[in-house]
Amino acid sequence: EQLNMEEKAKYIKGKKLGEGTYANVYLGTLRSDPTHFVAIKKIKIQAEYTEGLAPDAVRELKHLQELSHPNIITLHSVFSSRDQNLNLVLEFLPLGDLEMLIKDVEGVRYGAADIKAWMGMLSRAVWFCHANAVLHRDIKPNNLLIAADGMVKLADFGLARAFADPYKQMTSNVITRWYRPPELLFGARHYSGAVDIWAVGLVFAELLIRTPYLAGDTEVHQISLICQAIGTPTEEVWPGVSKLPEYTVPEPHNPVRGRETYLGTFGTAGYEGVDLLMAMLVLDPRARITAQAVLEHPWWSCEPRPTRKEDLPRKG
Ligand code: ADP
Protein backbone atom coordinates (compact mmCIF):
# COMPACT_ATOMS: atom_id res chain seq x y z
CA GLU A 1 0.00 0.00 0.00
CA GLN A 2 2.79 2.37 0.98
CA LEU A 3 4.74 1.39 -2.12
CA ASN A 4 1.64 1.90 -4.23
CA MET A 5 1.27 5.49 -2.94
CA GLU A 6 4.92 6.16 -3.68
CA GLU A 7 4.59 4.87 -7.22
CA LYS A 8 1.46 6.90 -7.85
CA ALA A 9 3.06 10.07 -6.45
CA LYS A 10 5.84 9.89 -9.03
CA TYR A 11 3.48 10.83 -11.88
CA ILE A 12 1.13 13.65 -12.80
CA LYS A 13 -1.84 12.55 -14.87
CA GLY A 14 -2.67 14.75 -17.86
CA LYS A 15 -5.17 14.73 -20.72
CA LYS A 16 -6.82 11.62 -22.12
CA LEU A 17 -4.96 10.26 -25.15
CA GLY A 18 -7.38 7.59 -26.25
CA GLU A 19 -9.72 4.81 -25.31
CA GLY A 20 -9.30 1.10 -25.96
CA THR A 21 -11.43 -1.95 -25.35
CA TYR A 22 -10.48 -2.32 -21.71
CA ALA A 23 -8.57 0.82 -20.88
CA ASN A 24 -8.44 4.60 -21.05
CA VAL A 25 -5.04 6.00 -21.83
CA TYR A 26 -3.78 9.33 -20.40
CA LEU A 27 -0.70 11.42 -20.93
CA GLY A 28 1.46 11.61 -17.83
CA THR A 29 4.63 13.33 -16.74
CA LEU A 30 7.23 12.58 -14.09
CA ARG A 31 6.76 14.82 -11.05
CA SER A 32 10.56 15.05 -10.81
CA ASP A 33 10.95 15.91 -14.52
CA PRO A 34 7.88 17.40 -16.27
CA THR A 35 9.60 17.06 -19.65
CA HIS A 36 9.55 13.26 -19.31
CA PHE A 37 6.31 11.91 -20.75
CA VAL A 38 4.69 8.57 -20.04
CA ALA A 39 1.39 6.95 -21.02
CA ILE A 40 -0.85 5.99 -18.11
CA LYS A 41 -3.16 3.16 -19.05
CA LYS A 42 -6.07 2.97 -16.64
CA ILE A 43 -7.70 -0.43 -16.85
CA LYS A 44 -11.50 -0.23 -16.71
CA ILE A 45 -12.71 -2.21 -13.76
CA GLN A 46 -14.64 -5.35 -14.61
CA ALA A 47 -17.70 -5.89 -12.41
CA GLU A 48 -17.05 -9.63 -11.95
CA TYR A 49 -13.62 -8.98 -10.58
CA THR A 50 -14.21 -6.15 -8.10
CA GLU A 51 -12.78 -8.42 -5.40
CA GLY A 52 -9.35 -8.35 -6.94
CA LEU A 53 -7.65 -7.17 -10.04
CA ALA A 54 -8.90 -8.09 -13.50
CA PRO A 55 -7.06 -11.29 -14.51
CA ASP A 56 -6.25 -9.93 -17.96
CA ALA A 57 -4.66 -6.88 -16.40
CA VAL A 58 -2.64 -8.92 -13.98
CA ARG A 59 -1.33 -10.98 -16.87
CA GLU A 60 -0.44 -7.90 -18.87
CA LEU A 61 1.59 -6.71 -15.93
CA LYS A 62 3.38 -9.85 -15.12
CA HIS A 63 4.53 -10.38 -18.67
CA LEU A 64 5.47 -6.81 -19.39
CA GLN A 65 7.58 -6.48 -16.28
CA GLU A 66 9.47 -9.64 -17.08
CA LEU A 67 10.05 -8.87 -20.74
CA SER A 68 12.71 -6.24 -21.23
CA HIS A 69 13.54 -5.91 -24.94
CA PRO A 70 13.99 -2.96 -27.33
CA ASN A 71 11.03 -4.11 -29.43
CA ILE A 72 8.64 -4.60 -26.52
CA ILE A 73 6.94 -1.64 -24.84
CA THR A 74 8.48 -0.77 -21.44
CA LEU A 75 6.33 -0.90 -18.34
CA HIS A 76 7.71 1.73 -15.95
CA SER A 77 5.37 1.21 -13.05
CA VAL A 78 2.05 -0.09 -11.79
CA PHE A 79 -0.24 1.41 -9.18
CA SER A 80 -3.90 1.27 -8.24
CA SER A 81 -5.94 4.44 -7.89
CA ARG A 82 -8.48 5.41 -5.21
CA ASP A 83 -11.29 3.76 -7.18
CA GLN A 84 -9.33 0.48 -7.17
CA ASN A 85 -8.54 0.78 -10.87
CA LEU A 86 -5.25 -0.56 -12.04
CA ASN A 87 -2.89 1.93 -13.70
CA LEU A 88 -0.01 0.92 -15.93
CA VAL A 89 2.69 3.49 -16.56
CA LEU A 90 4.04 2.74 -20.01
CA GLU A 91 6.62 4.16 -22.33
CA PHE A 92 5.03 7.10 -24.20
CA LEU A 93 4.80 6.25 -27.90
CA PRO A 94 2.91 9.07 -29.61
CA LEU A 95 3.76 8.34 -33.24
CA GLY A 96 0.94 5.92 -33.77
CA ASP A 97 1.13 2.34 -34.92
CA LEU A 98 1.72 0.25 -38.04
CA GLU A 99 -2.01 0.19 -38.81
CA MET A 100 -1.93 3.97 -39.33
CA LEU A 101 1.03 3.65 -41.71
CA ILE A 102 -0.57 0.80 -43.66
CA LYS A 103 -3.84 2.71 -43.99
CA ASP A 104 -1.94 5.61 -45.49
CA VAL A 105 -3.94 8.23 -43.56
CA GLU A 106 -1.09 10.71 -43.88
CA GLY A 107 0.15 9.79 -47.34
CA VAL A 108 3.08 7.78 -46.03
CA ARG A 109 4.97 5.81 -48.67
CA TYR A 110 7.10 2.81 -47.83
CA GLY A 111 8.92 0.07 -49.69
CA ALA A 112 10.43 -3.41 -49.45
CA ALA A 113 13.41 -2.31 -47.31
CA ASP A 114 11.08 -0.60 -44.81
CA ILE A 115 8.87 -3.68 -44.57
CA LYS A 116 11.96 -5.79 -43.92
CA ALA A 117 13.01 -3.45 -41.07
CA TRP A 118 9.56 -3.52 -39.44
CA MET A 119 9.26 -7.29 -39.85
CA GLY A 120 12.73 -7.73 -38.32
CA MET A 121 11.74 -5.77 -35.22
CA LEU A 122 8.44 -7.64 -34.92
CA SER A 123 10.15 -11.02 -35.37
CA ARG A 124 12.76 -10.27 -32.71
CA ALA A 125 10.01 -9.21 -30.26
CA VAL A 126 8.09 -12.43 -30.89
CA TRP A 127 11.23 -14.54 -30.63
CA PHE A 128 11.97 -12.92 -27.25
CA CYS A 129 8.42 -13.57 -25.97
CA HIS A 130 8.54 -17.22 -27.03
CA ALA A 131 12.07 -17.71 -25.65
CA ASN A 132 10.58 -16.57 -22.33
CA ALA A 133 7.60 -18.92 -22.61
CA VAL A 134 5.16 -16.07 -23.21
CA LEU A 135 2.59 -15.97 -25.99
CA HIS A 136 1.44 -12.53 -27.06
CA ARG A 137 -1.79 -13.82 -28.63
CA ASP A 138 -3.00 -10.53 -30.10
CA ILE A 139 -0.43 -9.48 -32.67
CA LYS A 140 -1.89 -7.04 -35.21
CA PRO A 141 -0.73 -3.79 -36.83
CA ASN A 142 -2.65 -1.75 -34.23
CA ASN A 143 -0.57 -3.32 -31.43
CA LEU A 144 2.74 -2.41 -33.06
CA LEU A 145 3.53 1.07 -31.76
CA ILE A 146 6.20 3.33 -33.23
CA ALA A 147 8.81 5.09 -31.05
CA ALA A 148 10.38 8.48 -31.78
CA ASP A 149 13.57 6.80 -33.04
CA GLY A 150 11.61 4.64 -35.49
CA MET A 151 11.69 1.52 -33.33
CA VAL A 152 8.61 -0.71 -33.54
CA LYS A 153 7.40 -1.91 -30.13
CA LEU A 154 5.01 -4.75 -29.48
CA ALA A 155 2.28 -3.55 -27.10
CA ASP A 156 -0.96 -4.59 -25.46
CA PHE A 157 -0.22 -7.75 -23.61
CA GLY A 158 -3.79 -7.88 -22.32
CA LEU A 159 -4.17 -11.40 -23.59
CA ALA A 160 -0.64 -12.62 -23.24
CA ARG A 161 -0.15 -15.57 -20.97
CA ALA A 162 2.59 -18.02 -20.18
CA PHE A 163 2.06 -21.19 -22.16
CA ALA A 164 3.83 -23.15 -19.46
CA ASP A 165 0.55 -23.16 -17.55
CA PRO A 166 -0.38 -26.84 -17.52
CA TYR A 167 -3.39 -26.71 -15.22
CA LYS A 168 -5.40 -24.13 -17.06
CA GLN A 169 -7.14 -24.82 -20.31
CA MET A 170 -6.51 -21.93 -22.60
CA THR A 171 -9.50 -20.30 -24.18
CA SER A 172 -9.54 -20.32 -27.96
CA ASN A 173 -11.43 -17.04 -28.13
CA VAL A 174 -8.30 -14.93 -28.32
CA ILE A 175 -6.65 -12.92 -31.07
CA THR A 176 -8.58 -10.46 -33.22
CA ARG A 177 -10.45 -12.50 -35.86
CA TRP A 178 -8.47 -11.42 -38.96
CA TYR A 179 -5.19 -12.56 -37.42
CA ARG A 180 -6.58 -15.70 -35.79
CA PRO A 181 -4.96 -18.98 -36.88
CA PRO A 182 -7.00 -21.99 -38.03
CA GLU A 183 -6.26 -24.00 -34.87
CA LEU A 184 -8.00 -21.34 -32.75
CA LEU A 185 -10.88 -21.00 -35.23
CA PHE A 186 -11.37 -24.76 -34.88
CA GLY A 187 -11.48 -24.47 -31.10
CA ALA A 188 -8.09 -25.99 -30.20
CA ARG A 189 -7.52 -25.63 -26.46
CA HIS A 190 -3.86 -26.57 -26.49
CA TYR A 191 -1.81 -24.32 -28.67
CA SER A 192 1.64 -22.85 -28.97
CA GLY A 193 3.73 -19.96 -30.20
CA ALA A 194 2.56 -20.92 -33.69
CA VAL A 195 -0.57 -18.78 -33.04
CA ASP A 196 1.64 -15.68 -32.93
CA ILE A 197 3.57 -16.72 -36.04
CA TRP A 198 0.33 -16.96 -38.06
CA ALA A 199 -0.52 -13.40 -36.96
CA VAL A 200 3.00 -12.22 -37.87
CA GLY A 201 2.50 -13.74 -41.34
CA LEU A 202 -0.74 -11.82 -41.76
CA VAL A 203 0.93 -8.58 -40.64
CA PHE A 204 3.65 -9.28 -43.26
CA ALA A 205 1.00 -9.88 -45.95
CA GLU A 206 -0.86 -6.70 -44.95
CA LEU A 207 2.31 -4.57 -45.05
CA LEU A 208 2.90 -5.84 -48.60
CA ILE A 209 -0.59 -5.33 -50.04
CA ARG A 210 -1.57 -2.44 -47.72
CA THR A 211 -4.93 -3.93 -46.86
CA PRO A 212 -5.88 -6.70 -44.41
CA TYR A 213 -5.32 -9.97 -46.28
CA LEU A 214 -7.99 -12.14 -44.63
CA ALA A 215 -10.67 -9.77 -43.30
CA GLY A 216 -13.47 -12.12 -42.25
CA ASP A 217 -16.81 -10.74 -41.05
CA THR A 218 -17.51 -13.76 -38.85
CA GLU A 219 -15.58 -16.82 -37.69
CA VAL A 220 -17.23 -18.94 -40.40
CA HIS A 221 -16.30 -16.34 -43.02
CA GLN A 222 -12.75 -16.21 -41.64
CA ILE A 223 -12.41 -19.98 -42.13
CA SER A 224 -13.74 -19.77 -45.68
CA LEU A 225 -11.26 -16.98 -46.51
CA ILE A 226 -8.41 -19.14 -45.20
CA CYS A 227 -9.64 -22.07 -47.34
CA GLN A 228 -9.77 -19.86 -50.45
CA ALA A 229 -6.54 -17.94 -50.01
CA ILE A 230 -4.29 -20.49 -48.34
CA GLY A 231 -5.95 -23.88 -48.82
CA THR A 232 -8.46 -26.11 -47.05
CA PRO A 233 -7.21 -27.65 -43.80
CA THR A 234 -7.72 -31.40 -44.30
CA GLU A 235 -6.24 -34.57 -42.75
CA GLU A 236 -3.86 -34.79 -45.74
CA VAL A 237 -2.17 -31.47 -45.05
CA TRP A 238 -2.76 -31.38 -41.29
CA PRO A 239 -3.04 -34.78 -39.58
CA GLY A 240 -5.54 -34.62 -36.71
CA VAL A 241 -7.27 -31.40 -37.77
CA SER A 242 -10.68 -33.04 -38.22
CA LYS A 243 -10.65 -34.03 -34.52
CA LEU A 244 -10.57 -30.42 -33.32
CA PRO A 245 -13.78 -29.47 -31.43
CA GLU A 246 -15.15 -26.97 -33.95
CA TYR A 247 -13.65 -28.35 -37.17
CA THR A 248 -15.76 -27.52 -40.20
CA VAL A 249 -14.67 -26.50 -43.70
CA PRO A 250 -16.68 -25.57 -46.79
CA GLU A 251 -16.92 -27.81 -49.89
CA PRO A 252 -15.29 -28.15 -52.30
CA HIS A 253 -11.83 -28.43 -50.74
CA ASN A 254 -9.04 -26.29 -52.16
CA PRO A 255 -5.46 -27.51 -52.50
CA VAL A 256 -2.81 -25.60 -50.54
CA ARG A 257 -1.74 -22.68 -52.73
CA GLY A 258 1.66 -23.00 -54.34
CA ARG A 259 4.53 -20.59 -54.64
CA GLU A 260 3.27 -19.15 -57.95
CA THR A 261 0.06 -17.89 -56.32
CA TYR A 262 2.04 -16.20 -53.54
CA LEU A 263 4.55 -14.71 -55.99
CA GLY A 264 1.60 -13.27 -57.91
CA THR A 265 0.14 -11.50 -54.88
CA PHE A 266 3.24 -10.79 -52.78
CA GLY A 267 5.98 -10.64 -55.43
CA THR A 268 7.30 -7.32 -54.10
CA ALA A 269 8.74 -9.31 -51.15
CA GLY A 270 11.01 -11.18 -53.58
CA TYR A 271 11.52 -14.95 -53.76
CA GLU A 272 12.91 -15.30 -50.22
CA GLY A 273 10.29 -12.97 -48.73
CA VAL A 274 7.53 -15.05 -50.29
CA ASP A 275 9.24 -18.21 -49.01
CA LEU A 276 9.18 -16.84 -45.46
CA LEU A 277 5.56 -15.68 -45.76
CA MET A 278 4.50 -19.15 -46.96
CA ALA A 279 6.32 -20.75 -44.01
CA MET A 280 4.43 -18.49 -41.58
CA LEU A 281 1.07 -19.27 -43.19
CA VAL A 282 1.37 -23.08 -43.00
CA LEU A 283 -2.00 -24.48 -41.88
CA ASP A 284 -0.69 -27.19 -39.52
CA PRO A 285 0.68 -25.33 -36.48
CA ARG A 286 3.27 -28.06 -35.90
CA ALA A 287 4.67 -27.53 -39.39
CA ARG A 288 4.54 -23.71 -39.20
CA ILE A 289 7.92 -21.96 -38.93
CA THR A 290 9.10 -21.13 -35.38
CA ALA A 291 10.23 -17.68 -34.25
CA GLN A 292 13.81 -18.99 -34.00
CA ALA A 293 13.71 -20.28 -37.60
CA VAL A 294 12.15 -17.00 -38.78
CA LEU A 295 15.26 -15.16 -37.53
CA GLU A 296 17.51 -17.64 -39.38
CA HIS A 297 15.68 -17.29 -42.71
CA PRO A 298 17.78 -16.18 -45.75
CA TRP A 299 15.36 -13.30 -46.49
CA TRP A 300 17.05 -11.07 -43.87
CA SER A 301 20.42 -11.24 -45.56
CA CYS A 302 19.39 -10.77 -49.20
CA GLU A 303 18.72 -7.48 -50.99
CA PRO A 304 17.35 -5.01 -50.12
CA ARG A 305 18.95 -4.52 -46.71
CA PRO A 306 16.43 -3.41 -44.05
CA THR A 307 16.09 0.37 -43.66
CA ARG A 308 17.86 1.82 -40.59
CA LYS A 309 15.25 2.66 -37.95
CA GLU A 310 16.14 6.38 -38.07
CA ASP A 311 15.33 6.45 -41.79
CA LEU A 312 11.97 4.65 -41.62
CA PRO A 313 8.92 6.49 -42.94
CA ARG A 314 6.67 7.93 -40.28
CA LYS A 315 3.62 10.08 -40.01
CA GLY A 316 3.69 13.83 -39.49
P1 ADP B 1 -6.41 -0.23 -28.44
O2 ADP B 1 -5.39 -1.32 -28.42
O3 ADP B 1 -7.80 -0.70 -28.58
O4 ADP B 1 -6.04 0.90 -29.37
P5 ADP B 1 -5.31 0.86 -26.02
O6 ADP B 1 -6.00 0.86 -24.70
O7 ADP B 1 -4.06 0.09 -26.12
O8 ADP B 1 -6.41 0.38 -27.00
O9 ADP B 1 -4.99 2.35 -26.47
C10 ADP B 1 -5.97 3.31 -26.72
C11 ADP B 1 -5.34 4.53 -27.39
O12 ADP B 1 -4.46 5.20 -26.50
C13 ADP B 1 -4.48 4.18 -28.59
O14 ADP B 1 -5.21 4.15 -29.77
C15 ADP B 1 -3.46 5.32 -28.60
O16 ADP B 1 -3.99 6.46 -29.24
C17 ADP B 1 -3.27 5.63 -27.16
N18 ADP B 1 -2.11 4.93 -26.58
C19 ADP B 1 -2.07 3.68 -26.10
N20 ADP B 1 -0.86 3.35 -25.63
C21 ADP B 1 -0.08 4.44 -25.81
C22 ADP B 1 1.29 4.75 -25.52
N23 ADP B 1 2.11 3.86 -24.94
N24 ADP B 1 1.75 5.98 -25.83
C25 ADP B 1 0.93 6.89 -26.41
N26 ADP B 1 -0.36 6.67 -26.72
C27 ADP B 1 -0.88 5.46 -26.41
pLDDT in tens, 203-234: 999 999 999 999 999 999 999 999 999 999 99
pLDDT in tens, 17-33: 999 877 899 999 999 99
Instruction: Kindly list the protein residues whose Cβ atom lies closer than 6 A to any atom of ligand 1.
Output: 17-21, 23, 25, 39, 41, 90-94, 142, 145, 156
pLDDT in tens, 172-210: 555 689 999 999 999 999 889 999 999 999 999 999 999
Of all protein residues, the one whose alpha carbon is nearest to atom 6 of ligand 1 is: 20
Q: How far is the CA of 5 from the centre of ligand 1 (A)?
A: 25
Residue 217 vs residues 78, 214, 230, 266: alpha-carbon distances, Å = 36, 10, 17, 23
For residue 263, pLDDT over 90 is answered with yes
pLDDT in tens, 68-87: 999 999 988 888 777 767 88
- At 166, is the pLDDT very low, low, confident or very high (cuts 50, 70, 90)? very low
Q: How far is the CA of 25 from the centre of ligand 1 (A)?
A: 6
Sorted by sequence, the CB contacts under 8 Å of residue 93 that are 6+ apart come out as 39, 73, 145, 146, 147, 153, 155
Among 97, 57, 82, CA closest to 4: 82
The continuous run of DSSP H or E covering 260 comes out as: helix 259-266
Confidence (pLDDT) at 164? 34
Are residues 60 and 33 in contact, defined by beta-carbon separation less than 8 angstroms?
Answer: no
For residue 66, pLDDT over 70 is answered with yes
Are residues 200 and 122 in contact, defined by beta-carbon separation less than 8 angstroms?
Answer: yes
Confidence (pLDDT) at 28? 97
In degrees and rounded to multiples of 5, residue 32 shows phi and psi of: -80, -15
For residue 49, pLDDT over 60 is answered with no
Task: Determine the Cα–Cα distance for residues 182 and 214; give it in Å rounded to an integer.
Answer: 12
What's the pTM?
A: 0.90
Q: How far is the CA of 87 from the centre of ligand 1 (A)?
A: 13
Pocket test for ligand 1, best of 13, 17, 159 (most atoms within 8 A of CB): 17
